[in-house]
Amino acid sequence: MPQRRLLLLEANRLSAWHWQGGHLHAEQNFASDSTGHEAFAKYLAAHGNSIFSIMADVPEEGFQIEDIPFVSGKDRNALTQRRLAQYYYGTPFALATSLGRQKSGRRDEKMLFTALTQPRHLEPWLAALRAAERRLAGIYSASLALTALLHHLKLPGPRLVLWLTRSGIRQTFINDGKLYFSRLTTLAADTPEEVAVACAVEAGKIYQYLAGQRLIDRSATLQALILAHPDQFSILRAHCRPSAELAFEYIDLLSEARKAGLKTPPRDSHCELLLLHQLVLRPPGQQFAHPAELHFFRLWQLRSGLVAAAAIIFLICLLYAAKQYWDVNTLQENTLQMAEQTQVDENKYQAVMKSLPLLPISTENMRALVTRFEELDKRSPLMETMCIPLSRALDAMPGIELQRISWQLSAKLPPSTEQVSGVLKQPPLNVSGSYYAIAEINVHLPVALANDHRALLQLVNQFVTELGKEKSLGVQITQLPFDAESGKTIKSSDEPTLGHAEAPKFSFRLVQGF
């Protein structure tokens, strides 16, 4: 992991700080001369694996507020760049920040144009960073760092914030959490009494300036926030008296440092440590560095992204390989268990087979026989399909009595007979199938019709017609209840003996294919 180092730029020097785990350690100070520049180059050579951020706390910082037409895209970028060139010609360290759109009229966009107006303070140090090819994350002003620090307070309306650095006392005006103006006042000495007096005097001056610029309403009281060490609150209250123009409030610097996670608490009211810590954890969204100055930092970000993506892909592949290894082991264990269970079942089977009596045929023949039997069993029709239609016909004609049924299964359709006893014509069997169930049925007709051949023939026809209602059955008469051969006198097939008449017999055949 690269180390984080912070460079605090002041009017006549540059100081280097090392940030690690919330602690800030002062490393070295460099004067703004050739000796300091050479020492800084050696310092950069000794810390190649570091990311640098610069915070400029210099008086030469410009602020301009202007309403511009609301445009977007390339037109907006061209317009803002033209305004920056007009206001801050000769410095590349300038940026434009939107303060929101007006609520009436053309709804123009209010813009804040700010810049570090003396690039000569920065150029030697940036040249050393470029020559050493060190990673620069950004160039920030102390005002931007403070605005980012106060963002979590969500202060509504206009506020004047007074805070102390080694360069002097700063007065920063914010409105709804957005930076509008900042000014640095140098101090001859930064004793608590002088700081308190300067806060009171400078707050009054800034109030008049803001009212003249119409950034605040003269009839309203401006809230002035003083960021200071709690040990100096009593001295500040003694000199900063509230008035109709200003109402003073105090922010505990130590409490804010603890909230921000700074583990090196400030010993006085100087805010440099807290602002430098802020640049590491929550840097402002905008900064002054030109894209060319961030070249090596962008390369590092790209490389870090590629390394992170490769690590994630490697981790995913590793997890997938682990899952595959786990699945293979699970399958092998399941295979072994199944093989063991199969062997146990085979042993049980052999034991059961040995306990059975010996069969007269081999196991293969027995298996083939059983298979054949199962096939025949599947092909065997149910008797209900014949018995139910027959039962319905007998119920419809109660004078006919069932005597005998002979059932058989055949692969051939029985031959059709066009005539029975040479008299009765009947249609051929219209039954199809691979096998045929054939039922030979004998019945008795009413005794009262024994001598009435016409009535018997009519009864037989009615019975056959009733059976023929079942379309899946074929009906075939095999014997009439009387002899009706050509050239013979029609007579009953059952002659009465000793004056006692017997019931006429009638035979037919039912055929079903399947």
pLDDT value at 14 more than 50: yes
pLDDT of residue 379: 66
Helix (H) or strand (E) holding 110: strand 109-116
Considering the domain boundaries, does residue 100 fall inside one?
no
Q: Which of residues 255, 289, 323 is at a domain's end?
A: 289
Same domain, 274 and 419: no
Q: Per-residue confidence at 386, pLDDT binned at 50, 70, 90?
A: confident
The mean pLDDT value for 30-57 works out to 94
Q: Which of residues 226, 259, 289 is at a domain's end?
A: 289
**What percent of the chain is predicted at pLDDT more than 90?**
55
Place of tokens 């000199």: 239
**Residues 6 or more apart whose Cβ sits within 8 Å of residue 456:** 445, 449, 480, 481, 482, 504
Assign residue 429 the CATH number of its domain: 3.30.980
76-90, 370-384, 386-400, 442-456: least confidently modelled range: 370-384
Segment 468-508, tens digit of pLDDT: 888 888 888 888 887 655 444 545 444 444 345 688 888 98
Q: Per-residue confidence at 424, pLDDT binned at 50, 70, 90?
A: low
Same domain, 406 and 264: no
Q: What is the pTM of this model?
A: 0.65
pLDDT value at 313 more than 70: yes
Considering the domain boundaries, does residue 483 fall inside one?
yes
Kindly list the strands in the beta sheet with 94-101, ordered across the sheet, starting from the edge strand earlier in the chain. 61-68, 109-116, 94-101
Segment 204-261, tens digit of pLDDT: 999 999 998 888 988 889 999 999 999 999 999 999 999 999 999 999 999 999 999 9
pLDDT of residue 497: 43
Q: Which of residues 258, 289, 320 is at a domain's end?
A: 289
Enter the tokens of residue 56.
């400029």
Considering the domain boundaries, does residue 51 fall inside one?
yes
Considering the domain boundaries, does residue 311 fall inside one?
no
pLDDT of residue 97: 92
Same domain, 147 and 279: yes
pLDDT value at 417 more than 90: no
Same domain, 285 and 415: no
* Strand residue runs (E) in 157-303: 158-165, 168-175, 178-185, 222-228, 246-252
Residue 154 is classified by DSSP as -
Buried b (16+ CB within 10 A) or exposed e, 295-324: ebbeeeeeeeeeeeeeeeeeeeeeeeeeee
Same domain, 275 and 395: no
Segment 432-463, tens digit of pLDDT: 777 788 889 899 988 888 888 888 888 888 88
Tally of domains in the chain: 2
One-letter amino acid for residue 261 of the chain: G
Enter the tokens of residue 389.
């239609």
**What percent of the chain is predicted at pLDDT more than 70?**
93
Segment 322-343, tens digit of pLDDT: 999 999 999 999 999 999 999 9
Buried b (16+ CB within 10 A) or exposed e, 389-422: bbeebbeeeeebeeeeeeeeeeeebbeebeebbe
Beta strands 168-175 and 178-185: pairing type? antiparallel
Cα distance between residue 491 and residue 495, in whole Å: 8
The closest alpha carbon to 426, from 479, 494, 387, 492, belongs to: 479
Segment 119-167, tens digit of pLDDT: 998 999 999 999 999 999 999 999 999 998 888 888 888 999 999 999 9
Cα distance between residue 57 and residue 60, in whole Å: 9
3-state secondary structure labels for all residues of 471-489: CCEEEEEEECCEECCCCCC
Considering the domain boundaries, does residue 284 fall inside one?
yes
Considering the domain boundaries, does residue 434 fall inside one?
yes
One-letter amino acid for residue 452 of the chain: D
Residue 173 near residue 158 (C-beta atoms within 8 A): yes
Segment 90-107, tens digit of pLDDT: 899 999 999 988 888 788
Considering the domain boundaries, does residue 319 fall inside one?
no
Segment 185-202, tens digit of pLDDT: 998 888 899 999 999 999
Considering the domain boundaries, does residue 394 fall inside one?
yes
Radius of gyration of the chain (CA): 57
Q: Domain containing 494: what range?
A: 384-513
Average pLDDT, the chain: 88
Cα distance between residue 224 and residue 196, in whole Å: 13
pLDDT of residue 309: 95
